[in-house]
Structure 1
Amino acid sequence: MPRVWDVPVRDTTRVRDARVATEHAASRAGLDEQRTATAALVATELATNLLKHAGGGRLLIDVVAPPVLAAGRETDRMVQIVTVDHGPGIADVAAALGDGFTTTGSLGAGLGTCARLADDFDLHSAPGRGTVVVARVAAGDSPAAGDSPTAEGLPPVGGFPAAAPDPAPRVRAGGVNLPLGGAEYSGDAWGWVRAGDLVTLMLADGLGHGPEAARASTAAVEALRTAAHLRPTEVLGALGTALAGTRGAAVAVAQVDTRAGVLRFAGVGNIGARVYEGGSWRHLVSRPGIVGVHRPATLREDEAAWAEDRVLVLHSDGLPSRWSPAPDTCRTSPDPAVTAAVTLRDASSSARPVRDDTAVAVLASIPPDRP
């Protein structure tokens, strides 16, 4: 079962904990010694920044799929380091990313160093609401998020025009996972797969929490890898077989046909699903039941147009039932994991903690004017 490391950073002793947790994650992701050291340095700098500038916060360290699934590299894994705080925010993000910037008399190399060392790096900060940072470090031969190949800009080959651009890399996915009470394993899990023009995002919430719930959600992620070519209702059918013998899970499946510009959705259980379209959020409805234990007799599959302004958010029931996305949640960053972390930050606080394992997964198109 995949580990998730939740490191609350309230004093300097937890900076070392963040570094050690990142080293363990790097081992699971297959990073070599040099890349492991890079990931550990990024985690150390980000944890130190939490103390200096936000009065503390938390690091969430996980092993995740890349935000873009390059053809032939669907099994690549990266160490993802996320910081979430409810501090004062950063007044000038661009300046904070420059070397030498400091508000505490330090060397001011933290965020700038992290941005250079990480394969992926982005952040979102709002005055009075806090800051989230997402950094990923991959194995040395793994492409960064912006390096996934497309046919755009390729010269003619053999006298013929290059193949039509591959639209799938214009769709990115990311997520965050927070175990209840600092547990080693989260009962929630998310994953995404690609089969040609189809990209499919799934979020599973194993019944209850703890290792047995984690086994159920992990089984769902593993089964998804062999179902990338199926429609969402068919995916749920395959997962029902894979989860038999486990506690079962609530599961939501969203699939984008990037060539046709169509979003398909189906879900069983209480996974929240919302899509941003036309300037507003719309709920996508799941059927009652538990995948692997009690499947509905019929499954409904919703369809909607998918365009460059669309954002899809899936979340488990660890978020408050009355949670509503903030106006800027839909486009906080081109990195969907930042959007997921902002969702987690804005839906919870020390006065309103999450009530269960909590995962948020986001699927989004990248507009042509953004890298």
Structure 2
Amino acid sequence: MPRVWEVPVHDSTRVRDVRVAAGAAARQVGLAEDRVAGAELVATELATNLLKHAGGGQILLDLVGPPVPAYGDERISMVQIMAVDHGPGMRDSDAALRDGYSTTASLGAGLGTCLRTADDFGLHSTPGRGTIVMARVGPGPRRDTAAPHSGPLPVRAGGVNVPLAAAEFSGDAWACVRTSDRVTLMLADGLGHGPLAARASSAAVEAVRTAPHLPPADLLRRLHGALRDTRGAAVAVAHLDVTAGRLHFAGVGNVGARLRRGDSWHGLVSHPGIVGAHFPAHLPARQETWTDDCLLVLHSDGLPSRWSPGPAVHAPTSLDPAVIAASIVRDASSAARPVRDDTAVVVLSPCPPDRSS
């Protein structure tokens, strides 16, 4: 079961905790020592920035796959470092990435260093609402593959996972797997909390990787068998056929799903039940048209069902989907209203038109 790390950063003593957690995460996925050092450097810079510019915030570390689905890349291989705050925000985030730019009489090289060190980097800031900075550190340049249909797809996936009360394990887990020109996105919410819930959701991830080609309803039936010796989970599955422009969806339990097309949102409804324990006799699947302006959000019930989309969801092609996911969690909570459960949000969004990989 992969760990998740949540480190509140409200004084300088927590910067070391963030650095240690980043090093542990990087070693857990087997990164070379130079990349371990890179993860530690990025985490330290982001934690320091939280204190310096936002008066504190939180660092979330997770073990994820690359955001653009590709053959053989769905296995965990990267450390995702997310800095989230409710601070004053930035009026010019582009300037903040340039070396030498500073609002605190410092050298102004922190974010630029993170951008150069990370394999993937994303930033979104809204004055008066706060800032989210994301960096993923992996083994370095992606390997090429000669597999058929191995070219880039015009979609990418990303998410954020926040354990309840800074626990070692989250009961939520998600996976994104590619087969040919199709992408399967799954989010599982293991019943309860802690290691036993994490075991259930992790079993769902492994089962999805064995048969991602199956339609959502059939895949959920397979997961039902795979989770029988666990406490069970609520699971939602979305299957996108990129060539046909069709999104197929089915869910069991209280995992939420919303699809945005243009300026309108509508929910995708799951069926009552528990995968691995109480599977519905009839499981309807839903089909939707997928266009270049679509955005799909899956979330566990740690996120309030009436969450409101914030500014980040209105720029899906320019923002990494993990940044969008973090903004949804951040805007639905606060220091006075923390998350009430393990909370995972995963987003499937279009790639920028000029993205080649």
- Sort the TM-score into its range (normalised by shorter chain): over 0.9
In structure 2, how many angstroms separate the alpha carbons of the residues matched to 1:204 and 1:179? 14
> Deviation of residue 187 (structure 1)?
0.5
Does structure 1 retain, via aligned residues, the 8 Å contact 2:325–2:347? yes
What one-letter code is carried by the residue in structure 2 that aligns with 1:104?
A: T
What one-letter code is carried by the residue in structure 1 that aligns with 2:285?
A: E
Using a 3 Å threshold, how does the CA distance of structure 1 residues 72 and 355 change in structure 2: closer, same or farther? closer
What one-letter code is carried by the residue in structure 1 that aligns with 2:196?
A: E
Q: Verify: 1:203 aligned to 2:187, yes or no.
A: yes
Does structure 2 retain, via aligned residues, the 8 Å contact 1:86–1:129? yes
What one-letter code is carried by the residue in structure 2 that aligns with 1:128?
A: G
Correspondence for 2:139: 139
> Pairwise mapping of residues 271-282 of structure 1 onto structure 2 (< 5 A)?
271-282=255-266
What is the Cα-based RMSD across aligned positions, in Å?
Answer: 1.8
TM superposition score normalised by structure 1: 0.92
Q: Verify: 1:338 aligned to 2:323, yes or no.
A: yes
Matched-pair identity in %: 65
Does structure 2 retain, via aligned residues, the 8 Å contact 1:168–1:197? no
Unaligned runs of 5+ in 2: none
In structure 2, how many angstroms separate the alpha carbons of the residues matched to 1:10 and 1:349? 14
In structure 2, how many angstroms separate the alpha carbons of the residues matched to 1:19 and 1:350? 23
Using a 3 Å threshold, how does the CA distance of structure 1 residues 240 and 47 change in structure 2: closer, same or farther? same
In structure 1, how many angstroms separate the alpha carbons of the residues matched to 2:124 and 2:293? 19
What one-letter code is carried by the residue in structure 2 that aligns with 1:343?
A: I
Correspondence for 2:175: 191
Q: Secondary structure at the match of 1:253?
A: strand
Q: Verify: 1:284 aligned to 2:268, yes or no.
A: yes
In structure 2, how many angstroms separate the alpha carbons of the residues matched to 1:345 and 1:72? 32
What one-letter code is carried by the residue in structure 2 that aligns with 1:329?
A: V
Q: Verify: 1:306 aligned to 2:293, yes or no.
A: no
Using a 3 Å threshold, how does the CA distance of structure 1 residues 168 and 98 change in structure 2: closer, same or farther? closer
Q: Secondary structure at the match of 1:353?
A: coil
In structure 2, how many angstroms separate the alpha carbons of the residues matched to 1:135 and 1:327? 20
Q: Secondary structure at the match of 2:137?
A: strand
What one-letter code is carried by the residue in structure 2 that aligns with 1:115?
A: L
Q: Secondary structure at the match of 1:222?
A: helix
Correspondence for 2:339: 354
Correspondence for 1:264: 248
Does structure 1 retain, via aligned residues, the 8 Å contact 2:65–2:73? no
Q: Secondary structure at the match of 1:192?
A: strand
In structure 2, how many angstroms separate the alpha carbons of the residues matched to 1:255 and 1:200? 4
Q: Secondary structure at the match of 1:80?
A: strand
Does structure 2 retain, via aligned residues, the 8 Å contact 1:174–1:362? yes
In structure 2, how many angstroms separate the alpha carbons of the residues matched to 1:282 and 1:166? 32
Q: Deviations over 1:36-91 (max 9, x none)?
A: 00011000000000000000000000110100122343335111000110000011
Correspondence for 2:348: 363
Correspondence for 1:160: none
Correspondence for 1:247: 231
Does structure 2 retain, via aligned residues, the 8 Å contact 1:207–1:249? yes
Correspondence for 1:109: 109
Q: Secondary structure at the match of 1:31?
A: coil
> Deviation of residue 105 (structure 1)?
1.1
Q: Verify: 1:125 aligned to 2:125, yes or no.
A: yes
In structure 2, how many angstroms separate the alpha carbons of the residues matched to 1:47 and 1:324? 27
Does structure 1 retain, via aligned residues, the 8 Å contact 2:6–2:58? yes
